[in-house]
Structure 1
C-alpha cells in the first residue's frame, strides 16, 4: 500500500496519479510550519485531538507533495478555491497550473492524490456502522436494494464502498455535495467500480473513471478522474513527513523535497 520511494518526490508522468498515504500518527507540531494561516486556524478550532492530528497530517502532506511538484515552498504554496455553483471563495482547493490535487482523511488514514493534466478526486473512509436514514439519503434505489441483500455483517463495508466511490466522483468534478449523492448510481460493492448513471442536469460532459484503492485494514478508498483515465501509484507519505520533521528539527526551517535531479517539476 505504501510502496514507492520514501525519499524525494518523483516527477509526475502523464497518465499516472500519485497516491501518498499517511497516518494520523504522523502528526507533529513542527508540521504546522507547512500550513497556511487558514489551515492553522481551522486546526485550532478542532476540539478532538484525533481530528486535529488528521487535519494537520493531511494538509501538511498535501502541501509538501504539491509544493515539490511545482517547485515552491510548501509553506508558500498558494491554493485557491472557487465554488463551481456560486463562484464564491470555497470549494475544491486548487494549486496553480495543470496539477490536479485532492486529499481525504478518516479514521487513522490520510491520502493525498496528485496528477498532471487531469481533474481527480480521492476519498478514504473508516468502515463503521451506519444509520439507515443515511443510506436512504445518499444511495439510489438500486443501490439500497443491493445493500439490503448483503449479509448483515457485510453491510457497513458495502455502504462505505458505495460512499467512497460517490465522494471521489463528486470531488473529481468539483461539485462536492452540492450534487446529491443519490443522483449517482455506481456498481455494486463487489463489482468493478464504474459510474452507471448520473441523474439531473449537472452531469459532466467528460467521461468519469473510477478506481477502488487499498486503504489498509478497517478502511476503504476510491479514486476518480475526469476525462482521461489514470494509473494509481502508491507512495509512502509517512516517510516523507518524517523526513520533513527531522529536517525542521535539525535546521529550524523547512526545505521541501524536490523531484529527482534528472526530472523537472510540473510546469505552472
Structure 2
C-alpha cells in the first residue's frame, strides 16, 4: 500500500490524469474533495505506471462492469496488475498486487446514523455494535464498513452487491468473512486484513484467491518526486524506489 494525504495535491499532478478524471475532478465543488480526488488518482497512476514501465500520463485504465458489461466499475490497468484505491478524511491509500485482485478502503471515523447501520449491517453485526460502549460504536461501525467495502472492491462487485449480504467478524476480532448471502458469492477464497490508517481513520484490505502480505510505503514522497520529475523532464524516470520496494506477489 502507498499512503498519502490531501496535502499532497499539487496542480502539476493534474497532468497525470486522463480527460475523464480531470472532468470529474472539476465537477467536485469542495476544494478538499478535489484535493483528495487528485491525490488518489495521481498516486494510483504513478504506482501502476512505474510497475508497468510506462509514463503515468499515458497509462490506460479500463473499467468493465461484471454485471452488465458497461464501461463502468473497477478501473483496471493492463496486464496482471491488481489495483485499488480509496480516500476519506485526509487519507489516501493505493493498493497494488501482482496476479491477484485486490480491494482497499479507508474511512474517517465519524458519527453514523442508525438507519445506515440497519441498511448495511446484518442482524448479528448490529447486535455486536449495539453492545459496544457508545464511544466505541463509531469506530466499530467503520471497521465493519471498511472490511465489507474492501471485499466488494476486490471482487469487482462494488456496491452492486448490498453490503448487508456480507457477514464479517466483529470489530475486535481477526477480519474474516463469515457468510455471503445470495447466489453470487465468489468461488475463490477471500482474504481480509485490517490496516493502520493513522489517527482518526480505519482501513481494510482484501484479496481474491491468494493471500497477500501488506506492506506500507510513502506515497507522499512518491508524488513529490513525480512533481519534481514533471518540472525537470530530463530525469522523468526517477519516480519511485519500486525496484527495492515491490509489492508482494501472491
TM range (shorter): over 0.9
- Pair 1:191 & 2:173 matched: yes
- Number of the residue aligned with 1:13: none
Change (3 A) 1:196 1:37: same
Q: Which has the higher contact order (CA 8 A, sep 6+)?
A: 1
- Number of the residue aligned with 2:195: 213
* 1:245 match: secondary structure: helix
Query: 5+ residue gaps in structure 1?
Result: 1-18
Query: 5+ residue gaps in structure 2?
Result: none
- Number of the residue aligned with 1:115: 97
2:47 to 49, 53, 65: 65
- Number of the residue aligned with 2:6: 24
TM-score with structure 1 length normalisation? Answer: 0.89
Q: Residue 104 of structure 2 contacts residue 149 of structure 2 at CA under 8 Å; is this kept in 1?
A: yes
- Number of the residue aligned with 2:225: 243
- Pair 1:170 & 2:142 matched: no
Q: Residue 63 of structure 1 contacts residue 77 of structure 1 at CA under 8 Å; is this kept in 2?
A: yes
Count of aligned pairs:
248
CA distance in 2, matches of 1:264, 1:120: 15
1:230 to 208, 212, 226: 212
CA distance in 2, matches of 1:247, 1:73: 11
CA distance in 2, matches of 1:261, 1:100: 18
Q: 1:245: how far off? A: 1.1
Change (3 A) 1:27 1:152: same
